[in-house]
Amino acid sequence: MSVHLIGGGATTAADAPLYAPFVAEAALRAGHAGRARPRVAVISLHPEAEEKAAALGELLAGAGTGPAIEVHLTAGRRGEPIGLDAIADVDGIAVGGGVVEDVRAGLEPVFGELRRLVAGGVPYLGVSAGAMIAAEGSLGGGSRIGGVVVSPEDPGEAGDELEIEAGIGLVDVAIEVHVAERGMLSRLVAAVESGLVAGGLGVDERTALIVGDGGLRVEGKGSVWRVLPAEGGVLVSTIGG
């Protein structure tokens, strides 16, 4: 099974094809478990968690071509970690966006179980911050490295340093999102060049990066940007787009 990472912005029925591969894998997993309908955990730790969880659940429900999925919604609150019951006995796990530090902190107590489930064949879908925390080293907020501005600054985060925290560990390079739309490629380049991360992949909005046994696959309207260290600097290339 695969890890599906969407760079954000995919919020309408027209974006359903981006979610379809994840739903198809969840249905396949359900079949192996002897279930007619796939059970999918949908987790939101967004400030508007109930609304966002329901919206993501609707997108997933509209993306399948087989039996209707059974959606288990979890709307988390800041400072209240997600429990194991949110991801128990499911065929797929989808984590939405929000403030990346809050999403990471809310799910940190179940990181080990998430790794176990994905290793056992349960597909993972991360959207925006949910994609960022899938990495071993998760990029946080912040637009500066060593005091130098490396990407457009959010007024609420002006002056904040970029920090790297432990993520779930489903992919071994850092994940950046909203890349082309928010000018985040420069931050990923600076993070790799400075040695904060060993390499990274940046996903544009309305674009999905699928990491599976067959390698990397890109679906959607944008590109995935690969940033790797190179002699004297970094090497930037694109996948898809």
Catalogue the E-assigned strands of the chain: 3-6, 39-44, 70-75, 92-95, 124-127, 137-139, 144-145, 148-149, 164-166, 174-177, 200-203, 207-212, 215-220, 224-230, 233-239
Sheet containing 200-203: give its strands across.
174-177, 200-203, 224-230, 233-239
Per-residue model confidence (pLDDT) at position 153: 86
* CB-based contact 42:57 (threshold 8 Å): yes
Looking at residue 183, its pLDDT comes to 94
pLDDT number for residue 214: 80
- Lowest-confidence segment of 24-28, 32-36, 109-113, 189-193 by average pLDDT: 32-36
Q: Measured at the alpha carbon of residue 87, what is the angle toward residues 26 and 99, in degrees to the nearest 5?
A: 100
Structure-token match 């019951």, residue found: 85
Measured CA to CA, the distance from residue 138 to residue 103 in angstroms comes to 11
Q: Is-contact 241 218, C-beta < 8 A? A: yes
What's the whole-number mean pLDDT along residues 96-111?
97
Q: Over 70: is that where the pLDDT of 110 sits?
A: yes
User: 46-62 pLDDT, tens per residue?
Assistant: 999 999 999 999 999 99
Residue 232 in this model has a pLDDT that exceeds 90: no
Q: Does the pLDDT value for residue 156 go beyond 80?
A: no
* pLDDT at position 241: 56
Predicted confidence band at 66 (pLDDT cuts at 50, 70, 90)? confident
Give the separation between CA 240 and CA 50, rounded to whole angstroms: 33
- Predicted confidence band of residue 155 (pLDDT cuts 50, 70, 90): confident
Q: What is the pLDDT of residue 41?
A: 98
Do the Cβ atoms of 106 and 95 come closer than 8 Å? no
Three-state DSSP string of 20-63:
HHHHHHHHHHHHHCCCCCCEEEEEECCCCHHHHHHHHHHHHHCC
State the Cα–Cα distance between residues 124 and 117, nearest whole angstrom. Answer: 9
What is the β-pairing status of strands 224-230 and 233-239?
Answer: antiparallel
Neighbours of 48 (CB within 10 A): 11
67-78 pLDDT, tens digit each = 889 999 999 988
From the list 240, 227, 225, the residue with the least C-alpha distance to 177 is 225
